[in-house]
A and B are shown apart, each in its own frame.
Chain A
Amino acid sequence: MNLDPWVPILVIASSLLPGLIIFSLAENSVRLRTGLNLTGALLNLVLVGWMLWGVYLGHRYEARLALLPDLELVLLADTLSLLFITLSAVLWLVTTVYAIGYLKGSPHRSRFFGFFSLCVTSTAGVSLAGNLITFLLFYELLTLATYPLIMHHGTEVARRAGRSYLVYTIFGGALLLLGTVWLYTLTGTLEFTPRGLLNGMGEEHRPALRAIFALLIAGLGVKAALVPLHGWLPQAMVAPAPVSALLHAVAVVKAGAFGIVRIVYEVFGVEFAAGLGVTAPLAWLAATTIIYGSLRALFQDDLKRMLAFSTVSQVSYITLGVAIVGPVATIGGMVHLVHQGFMKITLFLCAGNLAETLGVHKISEMNGVGRRMPWTMAAFTVGAFGMIGAPPVAGFISKWYLGLGALEAGQGWVIFVLAGSSLLTASYFLPVLHAVWFREPPVCWPKEHHFGLRETAWALLLPPLATAVMALGAGLLAAMPFSPLNWAKLIAAREFYLP
Chain B
Amino acid sequence: MKEALISLILPLTVLCPLVLAVAMAPNAARSTVARLAPWVPLPALLLAVLAPSNLSLSLPWLLLGTRLALVNDTARLFLLFTALLWLLSGIYARAYFSGQQGIHRFFVYFLLSMTGNIGLILAQDLTSFYLFFTLMSFASYGLVVHERSSLSLHAGRIYIILVVIGEVALFSALVLATTATKSTEFHLVRQGLAQAESRDLIMLLALIGFGIKAGVLGLHMWLPLAHPVAPTPASAVLSGAMIKAGLLGWLQLLPLGEVMLLQWGEAYITLGLAAAFYGVLVGLTQRDPKTLLAYSSISQMGILTMAVGLGLMSPAAYPVILPVITLYALHHGLSKGALFLGVGVIRACSGAKRRRVWLAMWLPALALAGAPLTSGMAAKFLLKAQIGNAPDTWVLVLQTLLPASGVATALLVGRCLILLHQPRTGDSGNHSARGLVWPWALLVTAVAVLPWWFVPETPERWIHAAFTASLWPVLLGAVLAIAAVGWRARLVRSRERVDGQLSTRYLMPQIPPGDILVPMSRWMTPALTHVCRLAEERLPTRREVLLSSLKKTWSNMHWQGLLATIESSLSHWPTALVILVLLGLLAAALAIIA
Q: A299-B532, A392-B131, A475-B63 are in contact. Are A404 and B168 (CB under 8 A)?
A: no
| Residue in A296, A389, A476 whose beta carbon sits within 8 Å of that of B62 in the complex | A476
Q: A400-B175, A415-B175, A479-B61 are in contact. Are A390 and B543 (CB under 8 A)?
A: no
**Contact between B25 and A374, CB atoms less than 8 A apart:** yes
Q: How far, in whole Å, are A378 and B536 apart by their CA atoms in the complex?
A: 29
Q: Mark the stretch among B30-38, B159-167, B361-369 that contacts chain A.
A: B159-167
**Contact between A400 and B172, CB atoms less than 8 A apart:** no
Q: How far, in whole Å, are A479 and B46 apart by their CA atoms in the complex?
A: 30
Q: How far, in whole Å, are A360 and B365 apart by their CA atoms in the complex?
A: 52
Nearest chain A residue, comparing its CB with the CB of B146 = A438
**Contact between A397 and B179, CB atoms less than 8 A apart:** no
Instruction: Answer whether residue B187 sits at the interface, using C-beta atoms and an 8 A cutoff.
Output: no
Q: A295-B539, A296-B539, A391-B134 are in contact. Are A415 and B172 (CB under 8 A)?
A: yes
Q: How far, in whole Å, are A423 and B169 apart by their CA atoms in the complex?
A: 10
Q: A400-B64, A438-B145 are in contact. Are A228 and B543 (CB under 8 A)?
A: yes
Within 8 A of B (CB), among A362-420: 374, 378, 385, 389-392, 397, 399-400, 403-404, 407-408, 415, 418-419
| Residue in B165, B168, B175 whose beta carbon sits within 8 Å of that of A407 in the complex | B175
CB distance from B381 to the nearest CB of A (A): 41
Residues on the B chain within 8 Å of A480, using CB: 61
Instruction: Answer whether residue B148 sits at the interface, using C-beta atoms and an 8 A cutoff.
Output: yes
**Contact between A419 and B171, CB atoms less than 8 A apart:** yes
Residues on the B chain within 8 Å of A390, using CB: 134, 138, 167
Residues on the A chain within 8 Å of B148, using CB: 438
Nearest chain B residue, comparing its CB with the CB of A437 = B142
**Contact between B62 and A479, CB atoms less than 8 A apart:** yes
CB distance from A327 to the nearest CB of B (A): 13
Query: Which interface residue of A296, A299, A400 has the most chain B CB atoms within 10 A?
Result: A400
Residues on the A chain within 8 Å of B142, using CB: 437-438
**Contact between B62 and A477, CB atoms less than 8 A apart:** yes
CB distance from B533 to the nearest CB of A (A): 10
Instruction: Answer whether residue B178 sits at the interface, using C-beta atoms and an 8 A cutoff.
Output: yes
Q: How far, in whole Å, are A71 and B489 apart by their CA atoms in the complex?
A: 99
**Contact between A407 and B176, CB atoms less than 8 A apart:** yes
Q: How far, in whole Å, are A422 and B536 apart by their CA atoms in the complex?
A: 19
| Residue in A295, A374, A391 whose beta carbon sits within 8 Å of that of B127 in the complex | A391
CB distance from A332 to the nearest CB of B (A): 11
CB distance from B118 to the nearest CB of A (A): 16
- Dominant SS among interface residues on chain A: helix
Within 8 A of A (CB), among B122-143: 127, 130-131, 134, 138, 142
**Contact between B62 and A299, CB atoms less than 8 A apart:** no
Instruction: Answer whether residue A298 sits at the interface, using C-beta atoms and an 8 A cutoff.
Output: yes
Instruction: Answer whether residue A338 sits at the interface, using C-beta atoms and an 8 A cutoff.
Output: no
CB distance from A161 to the nearest CB of B (A): 16
| Residue in A299, A407, A430, A434 whose beta carbon sits within 8 Å of that of B536 in the complex | A299
Q: A391-B130, A419-B171, A430-B160 are in contact. Are A295 and B61 (CB under 8 A)?
A: no
Within 8 A of A (CB), among B303-352: none
| Residue in B64, B178, B540 whose beta carbon sits within 8 Å of that of A397 in the complex | B64
Q: A392-B131, A426-B164, A438-B148 are in contact. Are A479 and B178 (CB under 8 A)?
A: no
Q: How far, in whole Å, are A423 and B134 apart by their CA atoms in the complex?
A: 14
Residues on the A chain within 8 Å of B171, using CB: 389, 399, 403, 418-419, 422
**Contact between A423 and B63, CB atoms less than 8 A apart:** no
CB distance from A488 to the nearest CB of B (A): 13
Within 8 A of A (CB), among B538-579: 539-540, 543, 547
Nearest chain A residue, comparing its CB with the CB of B165 = A423
Instruction: Answer whether residue B508 sits at the interface, using C-beta atoms and an 8 A cutoff.
Output: no
Residues on the B chain within 8 Å of A399, using CB: 171
Q: Tell me how many residues of A have a C-beta within 8 Å of chain B.
A: 38
| Residue in B131, B145, B540 whose beta carbon sits within 8 Å of that of A391 in the complex | B131
**Contact between A419 and B168, CB atoms less than 8 A apart:** yes
**Contact between A408 and B179, CB atoms less than 8 A apart:** yes
Query: Which interface residue of B25, B62, B65, B547 has the most chain A CB atoms within 10 A?
Result: B62
Residues on the A chain within 8 Å of B176, using CB: 407, 415
Residues on the B chain within 8 Å of A445, using CB: none
Residues on the A chain within 8 Å of B138, using CB: 385, 390
**Contact between B160 and A478, CB atoms less than 8 A apart:** no
Q: How far, in whole Å, are A252 and B53 apart by their CA atoms in the complex?
A: 55
Residues on the A chain within 8 Å of B168, using CB: 419, 422-423
Instruction: Answer whether residue B535 sits at the interface, using C-beta atoms and an 8 A cutoff.
Output: yes
Instruction: Answer whether residue B534 sits at the interface, using C-beta atoms and an 8 A cutoff.
Output: yes
CB distance from B198 to the nearest CB of A (A): 8
**Contact between B535 and A392, CB atoms less than 8 A apart:** no
Instruction: Answer whether residue A292 sits at the interface, using C-beta atoms and an 8 A cutoff.
Output: yes
Nearest chain B residue, comparing its CB with the CB of A414 = B175
CB distance from A483 to the nearest CB of B (A): 9
**Contact between B175 and A292, CB atoms less than 8 A apart:** no
Within 8 A of B (CB), among A463-499: 475-480
Residues on the A chain within 8 Å of B63, using CB: 391-392, 475-476, 478-479
**Contact between A477 and B61, CB atoms less than 8 A apart:** yes
**Contact between A430 and B25, CB atoms less than 8 A apart:** no
Residues on the A chain within 8 Å of B534, using CB: 295
Nearest chain A residue, comparing its CB with the CB of B138 = A390
Within 8 A of B (CB), among A325-359: none
Nearest chain B residue, comparing its CB with the CB of A292 = B539
Instruction: Answer whether residue B526 sits at the interface, using C-beta atoms and an 8 A cutoff.
Output: no
**Contact between A296 and B535, CB atoms less than 8 A apart:** yes
Q: How far, in whole Å, are A479 and B128 apart by their CA atoms in the complex?
A: 13
Instruction: Answer whether residue B60 sits at the interface, using C-beta atoms and an 8 A cutoff.
Output: yes
Within 8 A of A (CB), among B418-446: none
Q: How far, in whole Å, are A363 and B127 apart by their CA atoms in the complex?
A: 33
Q: How far, in whole Å, are A298 and B160 apart by their CA atoms in the complex?
A: 17
| Residue in B127, B134, B153, B540 whose beta carbon sits within 8 Å of that of A296 in the complex | B540
Q: How far, in whole Å, are A228 and B171 apart by their CA atoms in the complex?
A: 30
CB distance from B162 to the nearest CB of A (A): 12
| Residue in B64, B164, B547 whose beta carbon sits within 8 Å of that of A423 in the complex | B164
CB distance from A389 to the nearest CB of B (A): 7
Residues on the A chain within 8 Å of B62, using CB: 476-477, 479
| Residue in A295, A378, A437, A479 whose beta carbon sits within 8 Å of that of B65 in the complex | A479
Residues on the B chain within 8 Å of A478, using CB: 63-64
Q: How far, in whole Å, are A215 and B142 apart by their CA atoms in the complex?
A: 50
Q: How far, in whole Å, are A476 and B60 apart by their CA atoms in the complex?
A: 11
CB distance from B234 to the nearest CB of A (A): 15
CB distance from B325 to the nearest CB of A (A): 27
Residues on the B chain within 8 Å of A292, using CB: 539
CB distance from A385 to the nearest CB of B (A): 8
| 6 closest A-B pairs by CB | A403-B175, A391-B131, A407-B179, A295-B535, A299-B536, A426-B164
Given contacts A438-B156, A479-B60, A479-B62, 10 further A-B contacts (CB under 8 A): A295-B531, A390-B167, A391-B130, A415-B176, A418-B172, A422-B164, A426-B167, A430-B160, A434-B156, A478-B63
- What are 19 A-B contacts defined by CB distance under 8 Å? A231-B547, A295-B539, A390-B134, A397-B64, A403-B175, A407-B175, A415-B175, A419-B172, A422-B167, A423-B164, A423-B168, A434-B156, A434-B160, A438-B148, A476-B62, A477-B61, A477-B62, A479-B60, A479-B62
User: Which residue numbers of B lie inside 8 Å of A, CB to CB?
Assistant: 25, 60-65, 127, 130-131, 134, 138, 142, 145, 148, 153, 156, 160, 164-165, 167-169, 171-172, 175-176, 178-179, 531-532, 534-536, 539-540, 543, 547
User: Which residue numbers of A lie inside 8 Å of B, CB to CB?
Assistant: 228, 231, 292, 295-296, 298-299, 374, 378, 385, 389-392, 397, 399-400, 403-404, 407-408, 415, 418-419, 422-423, 426-427, 430, 434, 437-438, 475-480
